[in-house]
Amino acid sequence: MSRLLFETKTPTVPVAGSTDLFPVHRIYCVGQNYAAHAREMGSDPDRAPPFYFSKPADAIVQNGARIPFPLHTSELHHEIELVVAIGKGGCEISAIDALSHVYGYAAGIDLTRRDLQAQAKKAGKPWDTSKGFDRSAPISRIHRAADIGHPEKGRIWLAVNGKIRQDGKLEELIWTVPEAVAELSMYFELRPGDLLFTGTPSGVGPVQRGDRIAGGIDGIDEIAVEIAA
Ligand code: MN
């Protein structure tokens, strides 16, 4: 009889309007999915196929948490994003079918060590340390698509210490939710419990120790976290 050496905990996200918890399997992210953000990052938003990176499932941070300032960065950036929660797995999903694989939606923050990312881009090195670090994925409750539908428009915003930094619209997404889910499933077998951060509008910027970050998406939810002093 084999025994597990350690107990590991499955990260979860609360489901709004119930006591259910959504168990997180993987966290995928789309890069540069709003034209104005692609431009502020020095890229040309040319509708080249979306590209993806990932974060570990346990990078999840619950709404209201206080996050210690990450190690080894002097430029921690906020990126507010629409997060898609996958409820039904599959691969090579068509865009027409993609929404039937979606369980619900949340507002998330793709925290980024921008200094390390800039170095990695320059050197052609991977993004793991700039994107996939501990506590890099704050997320609101998940709202079931059965309750709120599939949002295609609405304001997506983020404020630091009450001052608006990002103020975009979901309709500005270069790759829509069905397109981004379909394309992701060409590379990975999607599983129930997967999350997809769909990219951030323009206005990303640094946060400091003691800052309060709040963001939200119309018709979905809000997320607020604090960077520890
Ligand atoms: Mn992002």
Angstrom distance (rounded) from CA 98 to CA 94: 6
Name the DSSP class of 174: S
From first to last of its 229 residues, the chain has per-residue pLDDT tens of 899 999 999 999 999 999 999 999 999 999 999 999 889 998 888 778 899 999 999 999 999 999 999 999 999 999 999 999 999 999 999 999 999 999 999 999 999 999 999 999 999 999 999 999 999 999 999 999 999 999 999 999 999 999 999 999 999 999 999 999 999 999 999 999 999 999 999 999 999 999 999 999 999 999 999 999 9
33 CA → ligand 1 middle, Å: 8
Assigned domain for 7 exists: no
130 CA → ligand 1 middle, Å: 11
167 CA → ligand 1 middle, Å: 15
Q: List helix spans (H) across the chain.
A: 35-40, 95-98, 114-123, 128-131, 145-148, 177-184
Assigned domain for 43 exists: yes
Q: Range of 102's domain?
A: 23-227
Assigned domain for 36 exists: yes
What is the CATH number for 96? 3.90.850.10
3 CA → ligand 1 middle, Å: 39
| pTM, rounded to two decimals | 0.97
Assigned domain for 18 exists: no
Assigned domain for 16 exists: no
For residue 205 the two structure tokens come to 């910027």
Number of structural domains, the chain? 1
Angstrom distance (rounded) from CA 193 to CA 102: 10
